[in-house]
Amino acid sequence: MHRFLILAAGLLGAAGVALLAAAAHLGGDHLDKAAAFMLAHAPALLAVGLADRLAGGRADAVAALVLLAGVALFAGDLVLRDLAGTRLFPMAAPTGGTLTILGWLGIAASALVRRGR
């Protein structure tokens, strides 16, 4: 799981930077927001992926997957609004935002779970 999370973090970071460049050249309020959202969450996924790697698969990767799904839905919907003039699906951004919040709460809750060695 750690390899997937580290890969996702790298791709999310790269996509965020690319969206910032696109926003600078194409404009669009939603591209800036999507890029900021991606760049804010990429380091979190990287941290969980590295923690999972160091802990031998014991980090809470499920919470990170929920976080990743939320970011993908939220940012994906915003990008489609600007670049394609359409939405991913109705309520995609709010669903993504809710999943992102739940992912962060899951990461926070993982600090309270005692794991055996």
- pLDDT tens by residue, 4-57: 989 899 999 999 999 999 988 888 789 999 999 999 999 999 998 888 777 766
Q: Read out DSSP for 43-54?
A: HHHHHHHHHHHH
Give the integer Cα–Cα distance in Å for 77 and 70: 11
- Please state the φ and ψ torsions of residue 35, each to the nearest 5 degrees: -65, -45
Q: Which residues are within 8 A (CB) of 40 and not within 5 positions of it... i.e. 6 or more apart?
A: none
Q: Please, what sign has the CA dihedral across residues 105, 4, 53, 19?
A: negative
pLDDT digits (tens, 9 = 90+) for 71-110: 999 999 999 998 899 999 999 999 999 999 999 998 888 8
Domain residue ranges of the chain, discontinuous segments joined by +: 2-110
* Entry pTM: 0.84
